[in-house]
Structure formats: structure tokens, C-alpha cells
Amino acid sequence: MINKTSIKQIIIPGIVLICIAILSFFIVTTIQNKKYEKIVNETISNFIDEIMEKYPETSEDDIIKILNDIENTNEQKEKMKILKKYGYTNNLSYIKKLENEMYSNMKFNIVVICVFGILILTIVLIYNRKKEREIKKINKYLNEINNGNYELKIEENCEDELSKLKNELYKTTVLLRETAENSEQEKINLSNSLADISHQIKTPLTSIRIMLDNIEENPDMDSKTREEFIEDISKQIEWISSLVISLLKLAKFDAGAIKMNDQEVNVKKLINHVLSNLAILLDIKNIKIEQKIDDDTIIKADYNWQLEALTNIIKNAIEHSNENGTIHIDVENNSVFVKIKIRDEGEGINKKDIKHIFDRFYKAKKSSENSIGIGLSLAKTIIEQENGYIKVDSEVDRGTTFEIKYLK
């Protein structure tokens, strides 16, 4: 049922509009009839003046009697023929008849306006009742959403405003459901990450504590052993520092706190910068780099972050390459994307590990002892931030290929 407030909001303005329509029609009709009366009066007055002037013996009463006589006799018809010669036409209404017709028409039109007004009000009330039912449904949907129920299906195929509102509400519901699911997954990921971090840091901290205790409890320890302990402690601290820095970078990306400073980046210059940073590692394993890169290949990206991503990927290739091996870096440039392929000839990755290669803290069996397990995950995150994507193909004992595409 429609509530009293809605009825008042519809009926009162409706009645006011009907009254305004009746008043407006009354004023317009009155003005029109006054014009008609003026025309009739002027016509009759001119007619009488002309008759009186030409036939002074004809009395005014005779003329008025003729004009007011409405009997349809043969004699009257003959008189009308004579009168037509002087400009009088019998299809003009007399004043009294005109007034009667005016009031009759006015009453009829008022009745018509009232009937149509009531009909329109009824249609509006029925529509409003339907609309209120739909609004109640929407309120019910909103209450369900507030209670955490995101499984509602309220798509509409109509084109009215409420249907559009329902469709928008459904889109919002889907978005909220996805957000809730992502939030739950993020909680799980955070819990797993904290467990992984705890596990990752616990081992080096324990080693540091043991070595420090040994140094403290053995003041007479020989200098060689003491130096070895101090060197090991330094390595463990450096490892923890690298882990914390990498985690902070990932945390910033997760929080959406990283703002990319995009600019035109020359790919050849970028890769040469990466190789310069990794020169010592390349020299240690005597690894040769073969490049196929056009001098004018450009991507639009944040230079420093791409330097970080490519450094992690090429460093991974170096760590898993054999000594005296070769790493191939090929760049393809077309109208759609820039593709960078980094291929090593090393030990490769087995099928079990390859699907987890970009997971945080994941370390394959052949990973180095100093590996943190974050570098490739961070690289993937950075590349995807720049409208790019990365994939990996590998074959055991044949090598691994990382393929990076930056869409233009």
C-alpha cells in the first residue's frame, strides 16, 4: 500500500494542477467568446444601420424580430435571402445563444478536464505504488549487502531509472563481493607472508646469536676463528637487510603507495645499466652477454623501477647459468609492444617449480643459499604496474627464457 505521505505528495499537486487547468480554460474561453460577441455585435449593428438608412420606414422592432426569429419557415427563408444581400449570414450565432453555448461548453470541458485529471492521478498513483514496491526491494537488497550477503542477483533488462539503479547496485554488489574475497585472500597472504618472514629471519638471527655467544664466552678465541665468525655475522646481517628492503618495496606496492614516474626510456641504455650493475657477478662466472637491441627502441616507464625489475631477472639468469656460459638478450619492437627476451643456457627449472617461480619466498631446490625468494616476485609486480606482463619458459639442463612485454 502507498503511505499517506506519498498520497499527499501526489494528490494535492494533482488537484492544484486540475484547478489551474480549469481556471485557465475558463479565462481563455471567456476571452474567445468576448471576441465572438464583439464580431457578432459589430456585424448586426452594421446590418441594422444599413437597413435603417436605406429603408427608414422599417422599424427597429421589425428588424430585431426577424433576427431573433429562429423558426425554419418558408417565409423566414425568403426573408433570410433578402438579408444576405446586406451582409447578414444565418450561420452567425445570436448573442443569447452564444452565451448559452459558451456556458454549456464550459461545463462540458470542466467535466472532461476533471475526468482526465482523475485518470492521470490514478495512473500516477498506480505507477508510484509499483515504484515504491521496487524501492522496498532495493532497500532489502541494501540491508542484505550491509549484512555481508554479496550473492544477490538483481540484474534488470528494462530501461527505466529504477532498473538502471538495480543494475548499478548489482555491479556494486559484485565489486564488493570481489573486494571481500580479495580482502580475505589478502589476510591469508599476509598471514602466510608473516609466517614466511618469521621463518626467513629466525634462522640468520639464531646463527648470529650463537656466534656472538661464542665470541663473548671465549675471550681467548684465536683471531682467525673470531674473524670468521665476524665475517659470517656480517653476511647474515647483510642478508637480513636485503630481505627487509625487498619486503618494504613489496609492501609499498601492496598498499598502492608507489607512484610511477613514467618517461621515455631507451631500452638499450637501460639494459646496459643493468649489466654494469651486475658486472662483478658476470666476471666471477665468466658469462658472456649477447645482445640484439635496436638503438632507438623506447618504452614509456619509470626508469629506476624498471632497472630494479630487469636487474632481478638478469641476476637470476646469472645465478642459474653455468660458468663460461652465455646469456642472450633480444628485444623486438613493433607497433603494439616492446618484447624483451632474456635466455640463459643454464640448469633450467623443472615443471614442479616453474608454476611457483613468481611466488613470494618460493625457493626451488637449485636456488642459491643466499636467495631471498622475493626478487622475481618484485620484478613481476613492477612490470605489471607499467601495463606489461612477464612469462617464463624453461627446460631442465637446457636453460630458461624470461619474456617481458610492454604494451604501447
Q: Are 167 and 73 in the same domain?
A: no
Query: Contact at 8 Å (CB) between 66 and 83?
Result: yes
Domain annotation covers residue 157: no
Nearby residues of 310 by Cβ (< 8 Å), 6 or more positions away? 270, 271, 274, 340, 379, 404
Tell me the pLDDT tens digit for each residue of 243-299: 777 777 777 777 677 788 899 999 999 999 999 999 998 999 999 999 999 988 999
Whole domain around residue 105: which residue ranges? Answer: 4-146
Distances 1 to 5, 124, 136 between C-alpha atoms, Å: 12, 14, 12
pLDDT reading at 317 higher than 70: yes
Residue 397, phi-psi category: left (phi > 0), alpha (psi -120 to 50), beta (remainder): left
Query: Contact at 8 Å (CB) between 342 and 311?
Result: no
pLDDT reading at 83 higher than 60: no
Q: Are 283 and 382 in the same domain?
A: yes
Q: Are 399 and 360 in the same domain?
A: yes
With bands split at pLDDT 50, 70 and 90, how would you rate the model's confidence at 327? very high
Domain annotation covers residue 151: no
pLDDT at position 172, please? Answer: 72
Q: Are 67 and 193 in the same domain?
A: no
Q: What is the pTM of this model?
A: 0.52
Q: Are 242 and 283 in the same domain?
A: no
Tell me the pLDDT tens digit for each residue of 348-395: 888 888 888 888 776 666 565 555 677 888 899 999 988 899 999 998
More confident residue, 407 or 186: 407
pLDDT at position 282, please? Answer: 93
Domain annotation covers residue 152: no
Q: Are 250 and 317 in the same domain?
A: no
Domain annotation covers residue 155: no
Q: Are 31 and 75 in the same domain?
A: yes
**Number of domains present in the structure of the chain:** 3
pLDDT at position 244, please? Answer: 79
Beta strands in 37-185 (DSSP E): none
| Mean pLDDT, residues 73-91 | 52
Domain annotation covers residue 213: yes
Q: Are 13 and 44 in the same domain?
A: yes
Q: Measured between alpha carbons, how far is 188 from 182 in angstroms, rounded to an integer?
A: 10
Q: Are 281 and 393 in the same domain?
A: yes
